[in-house]
Amino acid sequence: MKSEVIAERYAQALLEVAEGHALSESMLEQIERFREAAGRFPELSRFMESPRVPEEKKEALIGRIFEGEAKKVLTLFIRLLLRKGRIGYLGNILSLYPKLHDAKRGVLKGTVTTAYPLDPEVLTRLKSKLEAETHLALELTCVENPEILGGFIFSTGTTLIDASIQRQLAELGERLKTAPLV
């Protein structure tokens, strides 16, 4: 719990600094590139978190990763985390930044899963209803999964609306199991 609070505070501070320098959008791109690099090289996080590796070597590596970047805010931010002994929170901070950025813009990213591709008009109506439900502008990603048979599943990571035929059939099956026999 404490680590989540710390990561959120640092992510919020990074967002505020980026906004103050009109860099919040380019920060998203830099964060994505850094996360991709970290995904390709899992030893990167071990290297950065290791107490045996001198801080100068870590800072030199950060400098090489962002070499040629016009904006140095992320580099300076990571160096700050190194100096404060908070580099272990970097992954969580970089995961939270896009969510905080979207929330600040009043946007919620979500996924709509359907059994088959939706007609654009139907998708527009569904999006309008979901926006009315969440009171936020939605950026939807559409996914197809024939196993849900019909209906849709809307998910944001914290919200789940399962209006699939598969779920309805499962609930009907459970009710039939407990229904008294006449």
List the CATH number of the domain containing 45.
1.10.520.20
Bridge-based pairing of strands 160-164 and 151-155 is antiparallel
12 and 44 fall within a common domain: yes
Please tell me the pTM assigned to this model. Answer: 0.67
d(CA 113, CA 115): 7
10 and 80 fall within a common domain: yes
d(CA 49, CA 162): 40
Count CB atoms within 10 A of the CB of residue 138: 18
146 and 69 fall within a common domain: no
Question: Which of 51, 81, 103 corresponds to the end of one domain?
Answer: 103
Amino acid at 87: I
Residue pLDDT tens, the chain, 182 long: 578 899 999 999 999 999 988 888 888 888 888 888 788 888 888 888 888 988 888 888 888 877 766 568 888 898 899 889 898 898 899 988 998 898 888 888 899 999 999 999 999 999 999 999 888 899 999 999 999 999 999 998 778 999 999 999 999 999 999 988 77
Measured torsion, CA atoms of residues 99, 103, 107, 113, in degrees rounded to the nearest 10? 40
92 and 113 fall within a common domain: no
41 and 123 fall within a common domain: no
